[in-house]
Amino acid sequence: MGSSVESVTGQDVRGTLPDGLADAIRDTAENIAALLRGVADTGAPVPGSEWTMGEAAAHLAQANELMADIAAGHERSYGDGTPQSLAAANQRALAEFAERGADPLADMIVAQANAYLEAMDQGLAEEAVLTPLGPMSRAVLGSYLLTHMLGHGYDLARAVGRPHMIDAARVELTLPFMITAMPRVTNAAATAGLTARYRVRMRGGTGFGVTFTNGAAAVSPGPPSRPDCTILIEPVTFLLMALGRCEPWGAIARGRVLAWGRKPWLGPRFPTLFTAP
């Protein structure tokens, strides 16, 4: 974990990240780099994506740089937070960045992940910064960085036919970002008029609560009182579903998602209430 600076009160206030997050960021970047190094043809397609391997890796290098810059206190404009604007910003950034070589991009991905951690050693972890998905603390930005790398790292692992790096421990570390971002990526058409209380639990881990009031979502680290529907989900499946890499009905059919409560029929509807950024 990154170092911290002790304040006059004796409390560590600078550079503090949740336990395990710094190691997860560093290890995930190295895992992705290991998938890329030595790949001769980065023009190969990424399954389920319009991007090639080179484009996906270039996007990761750029995104890691963006988040490191934001953590360091630099203002960076990148869309308006909607999926459409983020997609357009991604395409513009890729068009302006020519590197598609596997080894240089692997080095950039690792270097920029480390740059985020170095910025955390200098800045206040809980101080808010403006990100592509709205304001959040620098520590939650680290959870965002990890989430983003895991999604595209999964894609690159599929492209080269090797195991991905997502596990239950890393999924737990994505939850601060998920809790922050979910109200900002609700599907307005799907949630219109909805009033419901969900409890979402990771199998073998923690979870969170989501309350919809006339379509507006509020997400909390703890469960809501008297939830209408409790969802128990295998952690890797949760992340892949949240990032649009896994179809909910297949996961339900394989027993990776269970729902019960006063209104269990709300369970299968839950993934449709959000749009993956």
pTM over 0.85: yes
Supply the pLDDT for residue 1: 34
- Residue 262 token pair: 């006063």
pLDDT for residue 14: 43
Which residue is listed with tokens 């999604």? 151
User: What is 5-167's CATH number, 1.20.120.450, 1.10.1510.10, 3.40.109.10, 3.40.50.720?
Assistant: 1.20.120.450
In this prediction, residue 83 carries a pLDDT of 79
Q: Who's near 233: CB < 8 A, 6+ residues apart?
A: 200, 201, 202, 203, 241, 251, 256, 257, 258
Distance of CA 58 to the CA centre of its chain: 18
Confidence at residue 186, expressed as pLDDT on a 0 to 100 scale:
94
Pick from 116, 239, 251, 257: which is nearest to 177 by CA?
239
Query: 186-273 — its CATH code?
Result: 3.30.1050.10
- Rounded Cα–Cα distance for residues 93 and 62 (Å): 8
d(CA 222, CA 220): 5
Check residue 15 and give its pLDDT.
Answer: 54
Q: Domain residue spans in the chain?
A: 5-167, 186-273
Enumerate the H helices of the chain as residue ranges: 21-36, 53-71, 83-95, 102-122, 138-160, 168-181, 188-191, 235-242, 248-253
**Splitting the chain (277 residues) into consecutive groups of 10 residues, what average pLDDT does each group show?**
33 65 98 97 95 98 96 86 85 94 98 96 80 92 98 98 97 96 94 97 95 97 95 97 92 94 96 89
C-alpha separations of 103 from 66, 150, 241 in Å? 20, 19, 30
pLDDT for residue 10: 33
Joined together, the tokens standing for residue 1 give: 């974990």
SS3 (DSSP) at 16: coil
